[in-house]
Amino acid sequence: MGVQTVTLAEIEEARRAVTGRILRTPTVPSPSLSELMGLPVHLKLEHRQTTGSFKLRGASNALSRLSSEEKRLGVTAASTGNHGRALAHAARLEGVRTIICMSRLVPANKVDEIRRLGAEIRIVGNSQDDAQEEVDRLVSEDGLVMVPPFDNPAIIAGQGTMGLEIVEDVPDVDTILVPVSGGGLAAGVAAAVKALRPQAKIIGVSMSAGAAMRASLDAGRPVLVEESHSLADSLGGGIGLDNRFTFAMVRDLLDDILLLSEDEIAAGISHAYAMEREIIEGAAAVGIGAILAGGIEAAGPVVAILSGRNIDMKQHRRVVCGDAYRQEA
């Protein structure tokens, strides 16, 4: 088949590796969204995961696969925040040194959190790609092991464990709304769900401001996009011009990728807070935002993945109070 992919067996193996290291998060019905859609709508409360996002699934699985020599040398990653947090936490549990590289666009609260979790921090450049260059240097000069945020089979399989849980909790699921940036979450969830329930649709959702995966799918190959500020800051960053796994998997397994405006993302955050009593970050709000915008048609139960909660609380307050939330670029 040429295309490199991740199988259901690898995802089931990942589940054995991460059990006890991550939380099995609940899937709950949303009465308000169910009424709006005239269908059962469920929320996968993955923002309650340890470290505040699903990224702990992939990071824990990747660490479980390291040799003792690799653990001795340490791990490194470029991260817009949540992957760095997850890797720092997972590595500290194993007693492994972590150096996290990130661009200046990453919000200060995320940088501080990662430092508190025990990682060393390097701030480099204005883009994910600049941060990645520093990671490459640490790998070639100091022998650290890179744990990438999405384009890696162990990461994809780890994120895919969430797909197993969704099918267990909502066996007749018709449509799953999954936030997409680099596509590790979407690829893993889609690989698990399409293997267990081929008729289920997987709809990716991202922000209009710099959606690299959607631009790449439109171009037929990975392309660069300009990074810009978004409420969904965890969805920023490219997919890598040398993408090996997630581009092809997302292309082959997802049914569509929708893009939301900043106001539609803000509406998702506000709805989660006012109606569901959940504090979520912009990236996690795109599924709810897409439903509220009227962009989702389904023939049966819908599951929206709430992927993280690591939002600056001052910004969250501005959003839910309806104040101006845009940041200066």
Ligand X SMILES: *Cc1c(COP(=O)(O)O)cnc(C)c1O
Annotated active-site positions, please?
55, 307
Measured from the CB atom, the residue of 154 and 180 that comes closer to ligand X is: 180
Measured from the CB atom, the residue of 39 and 135 that comes closer to ligand X is: 135
Of the candidate residues 153, 179, 268, 289, the single one contacting ligand X (CB under 6 A): 179
Bridge partners, residue 19, by sequence: 22
162 is an interface residue for ligand X by CB under 6 A: no
Q: What is the Cα 38 distance to its own chain's centre? A: 28
Stretch that binds ligand X, among 3-11, 174-182, 266-274, 292-300 (CB under 6 A): 174-182
**Helix 153-169 to helix 55-64 angle, to the nearest 10 degrees?**
130
Measured from the CB atom, the residue of 40 and 315 that comes closer to ligand X is: 315
Q: How far is the CB of 181 from ligand X (least distance, A)?
A: 3
Give the DSSP H or E segment for 224: none
Q: How far is the CB of 298 from ligand X (least distance, A)?
A: 21
184 is an interface residue for ligand X by CB under 6 A: yes
**AA identity, residue 192:** A
Q: How far is the CB of 216 from ligand X (least distance, A)?
A: 12
Measured from the CB atom, the residue of 37 and 186 that comes closer to ligand X is: 186
Of the candidate residues 134, 151, 227, 281, the single one contacting ligand X (CB under 6 A): 281
CB atoms within 10 A of CB 282: 27
Distances (CA, A) of 81 to 1, 75, 199, 209, 246: 34, 16, 34, 18, 20
3-state class of 52 per DSSP?
Answer: helix
In the chain, the N- to C-terminal Cα span, in Å, equals 43
Stretch that binds ligand X, among 9-17, 26-34, 112-120, 181-189 (CB under 6 A): 181-189
Residue with the CB atom nearest ligand X in the bound state: 308
Interface with ligand X in residues 141-160 (CB under 6 A)? 150
Measured from the CB atom, the residue of 39 and 89 that comes closer to ligand X is: 89
Stretch that binds ligand X, among 3-11, 66-74, 278-286, 296-304 (CB under 6 A): 278-286
Binding residues for ligand X, rule CB under 6 A, total: 19
Largest CA distance in the chain: 57
Q: How far is the CB of 151 from ligand X (least distance, A)?
A: 9
- Give the chain's length: 329
307 is an interface residue for ligand X by CB under 6 A: yes
Of the candidate residues 180, 205, 217, 248, the single one contacting ligand X (CB under 6 A): 180
Sign of CA dihedral 74, 76, 81, 86: negative
Interface with ligand X in residues 4-63 (CB under 6 A)? 53, 55
Of the candidate residues 84, 148, 182, 236, the single one contacting ligand X (CB under 6 A): 182
Alpha helices in the chain (DSSP H): 8-18, 31-37, 55-64, 68-73, 82-94, 108-116, 128-142, 153-169, 184-196, 212-219, 246-253, 262-274, 286-292, 313-320
Give, in degrees to the nearest 5, the angle at Cα 83 between 30 and 292.
25
Q: Which two tokens stand for residue 167?
A: 């099918």
3-state class of 182 per DSSP?
Answer: coil
Interface with ligand X in residues 78-107 (CB under 6 A)? 82
Footprint on this chain of ligand X (rule: CB under 6 A): 53, 55, 82, 150, 179-186, 234-235, 281, 283-284, 307-308
